[in-house]
Amino acid sequence: MYGAIGAGLAAIGAGIGVGQIGGKAMEAIARQPEALADIRTNMIIAAALVEGAALFAIVISFIAK
Amino acid sequence: MVIQIVPLRKFLREVSLLMTKSAPLFVLVLNYFLVSLYLRNIIIVFFCLNIGVWGVNDLSAQVATSTPNHTTDDHTQSTHEGETHADEHSPAAGESHGVTAHKKETSYTDMMMDHISNSNEFHLFGHTSIPLPCIFYTQDEGVHAFMSSEFEHGHKAVKGFVLDNGVARRILNPAQRSIEHIDYTEREGDKIYAVAHGEKIELEKASTLIGKTSWYDFSISKNVFTMLLSALILCIIFLYVASKYKKSSNIAPNGAQNFFEVFLVFLRDDVVKPSIGEKWEKFFPFVCSVFFFILLNNLLGIVPFFPGGANVTGNIGTTMVLALFTFIIVTLNGTKDYWMHILWMPGVPWAVKLLLTPIEIAGIFIKPFTLMVRLFANIAAGHIIILSLIGLIFIMGKNGTEMGGAITGGAIGVPFVFAMNFLELFVAFLQAFIFALLTSLYIGAAVETHAHDDHH
C-alpha cells in the first residue's frame, strides 16, 4: 500500500522533471534547429539523471511493499 | 432478451458503404502510424494476434487455476473441461480421493507476476508447454538434471522438486522429498506450500543470486532459452550482413544489409562517435552488441506467443549483467584523468574536494545501477500494464462466471492494450537507444583525455 503511494509520488516527481526537460529542449530546438543533435544528447542525459532519482524511489517502494 | 438479427447481406452492404465513405480517414490514421503498405498490414495482423493470443493464453491459465468451490450450477463449460483435463494429468489423485484436488483461487496479481517472471517451462497455451532442461545443483545431493516435462505441470514432484506456476522449488524438509504426487501448490503470505493428499509441504524459496538456499538453479529456463535464441538470431543476421559487405563493399547495399545499415550508421555517427571521441572504434562493437541484444529481446518480449513471451530485458538479472559489463569496461579503460576527476577533482577548493570525492566514488556505482534499473523497470512496467488491462476481463467477469462483465472488461481493455502495444514498440527502441547512448557516454567520460589545463 505505502509502496504504491511511494511509486505514485516518484512518478509525479519524474513526470515534472522530464516534462520540464522535454519542454525546454523543444523550445531550444525550435530556436536553433541546427543544434538538434547536441540538444537531443544533453536532453537524454538530463532526463536519465532525473529518471535515475525516480527509479531509486521505485526500487525502495518495491522493497517497502 | 430479444436479439434482432440484421440480414447479413444488408448489414455487409452498410458496412462496406461506411467503409468507402470513411476510407480516407482510415488511411490517414493508419498512415499516421506506419509508412509502408506491407509493413502496415503485417503490424495490424501482428497486434490483433498479439491481443488475441494473450487473452486466450490468460483465459486458459485462469480456467486451469480457477476454483470449483461453488456448486455445480455456477460451473461454466470451460471450467469442466479444465477439471477433466487436470484429472487426466493426475490419475493417482482420482483413485485415492475420488475428486480432484480443489485448488485455492490464485489472485490476479500473483498470476501477473508469474507471467513476467522467469520459469522452468515454456508455456504455450492451456496445458501445453514446451519442456526445458532443468539442471539443479544441490549442496547435499549433487546435480540433478531432467526435463521439466517430468513435473507434469506441477502435478508430480521429481527428486524433491516441485513446479509452482512454472517455477521449480525444492521441498524444505529432507524427509518429505521422496514424495511423488502433488495435488496443487498454494501461497500464504511469503510461504509457498505444495499440497499432497491433504498434507501441506513447505517449499523452499526459488534460487536466486541473493539469499541462501540449499540448491541453485542452473536450468536452461525460459529466459535463458530466449537469450540463446536471440544470440543465434543476431549471429545469423549480422554474419550475413557482414559477409555482404565483404563480398560487395563498393556496391550499394540492399535487403537486410540496407535495413541494418540505417541502425549502424545512426549508432556510429549519432551515438558512439560524438560521445566517445577519438577512440570510438575500440568500443563500437560493444555498444552495437548491447543495442541489438536489448532491442531484439525487447521486441521478442512484446510478442506473446512461442519465440517471444519471455520477459528477458524485464528481468533484473539480465540487465544487471549488461550493466556490469559497462561498469567493467568503464573501470578498466579509465584514464589517469578520469580517476583524478573522481578522487581529487582538480581546480576546486579543497573543502569542495572533500565533499565531491565521496559523491564521485558513489557515482561510479550509481551509474551502472541506474542503467540496470532503468531498463528493467521500463520493460517490466510495460508488461505489467498490458497484463493488468487484460486482467480487466477476469476481474470484471469474476473469473468467467459473468459473461457480461467479461465482455465489458474486454471492450475496455483491448483498445487500451492495442494503444499500449504501440507505446511498448516505441519504448523497445527508446530503451535500447538510451542504454547504448549512456553506455557510450560513460565510456567516453572514462577514456577522454583533457586537452585543457586546470581551469574548470
Give the CATH number, domain containing residue A54: 1.20.20.10
Chain A and chain B share a number of CB contacts under 8 A equal to: 29
Q: Which residues pair with B187 in a beta bridge?
A: B192
Sign of the Cα pseudo-torsion (B422, B427, B433, B436, in order): negative
Give the mean pLDDT of B204-231: 80
Between CA B167 and CA B155 the distance in angstroms is 13
Q: List chain A residues with CB under 8 Å of B370.
A: 48, 51-52, 55-56
Q: What cell numbers appear for A4 in the block? A: 504504491
Domain range spanning residue A38? 2-64
More confident residue, B8 or A6: A6
359-398 of B, contacting A, C-beta below 8 A: 366, 370, 373-374, 377
- CB distance B274–A37 less than 8 Å? yes
pLDDT of residue B47: 54
Query: Does A44 sit within 8 Å of B437, measured CB to CB?
Result: yes
Other CB atoms within a 10 A radius of the CB of residue B392 amount to: 21
Nearest to A48 among B275, B377, B434 (CB): B434
CA–chain centroid gap for B217, Å, is 19
Provide the whole-model pTM: 0.74
CA dist B48 and A64 (Å) reads 38
Q: Which neighbouring-strand residues pair with B194?
A: B185, B201
| Cα within 13 Å of Cα(B199), Cβ side | 7
Q: For residues B57 and B296, give the distance between their C-alpha atoms in angstroms, rounded to a whole number.
A: 23
Neighbour count for residue B373 (Cβ, 10 Å): 22
Q: What is the pLDDT of residues B297-347, one digit of tens each?
A: 999 988 877 777 788 898 888 898 899 999 999 999 988 888 988 888 888
pLDDT grade for B73, boundaries at 50, 70 and 90: very low
Cβ-contact B40, B376 below 8 angstroms:
no
C-alpha cell at B86: 487436470
As given in the structure block, the three cell numbers for residue B384 are 505489467
Cell numbers for B339, please give them: 580517476
Q: Is B125 strand, coil or helix? A: strand
Mean pLDDT across chain B = 75
Neighbours of B188 (CB within 10 A): 10
Q: How many structural domains is chain A composed of?
A: 1
Interface test with B, best of A41, A43, A63 (most B CBs within 10 A): A41
Contact B423, B389 (CB under 8 A): no
A52/chain B closest Cα distance in angstroms: 6
The length of chain A in residues reads: 65
Q: Which residue of A has its CA nearest to B441?
A: A45
Q: Give B370 to chain A, closest Cα distance, Å.
A: 6
Q: pLDDT of B265-283, one tens digit each? A: 999 998 899 888 888 888 9
Lowest mean pLDDT among A41-50, B256-265, B294-303: A41-50
The span from the first CA to the last CA of chain B, in angstroms, equals 80
- Lowest-confidence pick of A31-40, A52-61, B262-271: A52-61
Are A37 and B377 inside 8 Å of each other by CB? no
Q: Is the pLDDT of residue B67 over 70?
A: no
Q: Is the pLDDT of residue B293 over 80?
A: yes
B-chain residues near A52 (CB < 8 A): 366, 370, 373-374
Taking CB atoms and an 8 Å limit, are B437 and A52 in contact across chains?
no
* CB contact set of B66 (below 8 Å; sequence gap of 6+): B79, B82, B103, B105, B399, B400
- Please report the pLDDT score of residue B72 as a whole number: 37
Distance CA B312, CA B301 (A): 7
DSSP element (H, E) containing B296:
helix B280-302
- Residue B211: pLDDT band with limits 50, 70, 90: low
Tracing cell 521422496 back to the chain, one arrives at: B178
CA–CA separation, B254 and B257 (whole Å): 6
